Structure formats: structure tokens, C-alpha cells
Amino acid sequence: MANEDDVRGTKTARSELGRRGVDTSQADIRVMHGVCYIRGQLRAIRSANIPDLKIEMEKIAKILRTKAEIKEVVIDAIFRT
């Protein structure tokens, strides 16, 4: 059974990515043992004003590290434009 903190962390990560205008429809986002893994393909939502997705993801990773459920963030994703 999944750890409750990991489930909460996964929901938090998905929410933050969506709030910041990142399309995660082709990505896998999971928190396991406090580590947030972001894999797959990421792109900016058309209406989002994100000039550089990689820089935006670094900002999001810093924000996620401040959350109680997430200790570390691993981004293993392809950035699409």
C-alpha cells in the first residue's frame, strides 16, 4: 500500500505543475519515499507565458522541495516547445 505522505506529495506536485502552466499529459509524476520523480515529456500550455521551460521547471523544483512531503526532486524529462 502507498505511503500517505507520498500520495499527498504526488497530488501536490501535479497541482503545482498545473498551476504553473506545465502540460503533464505525457509525463509520469510520482513521489516515492519522499523523492518526486518527473519523467516523460513536458511542454508549456499554450496560454502560459513560459519563455524557457527548463528554467521554469528548476523554479518549480525549488518550490516542491519546500513542501513537507517532498525531500528531493528528480527531473528526467524531455522539454518540448
For the chain, domain boundaries: 4-80
CATH fold group of domain 4-80 = Alpha-Beta Plaits (3.30.70)
3, 35 Cβ separation under 8 angstroms: no
Confidence label for 81 from pLDDT (cuts 50, 70 and 90): confident
For the entire predicted model, the pTM comes to 0.92
pLDDT, one tens digit per residue, over 5-58 is: 999 999 999 999 999 999 999 999 999 999 999 999 999 999 989 999 999 999
The Cα–Cα gap between 17 and 76 comes to 15
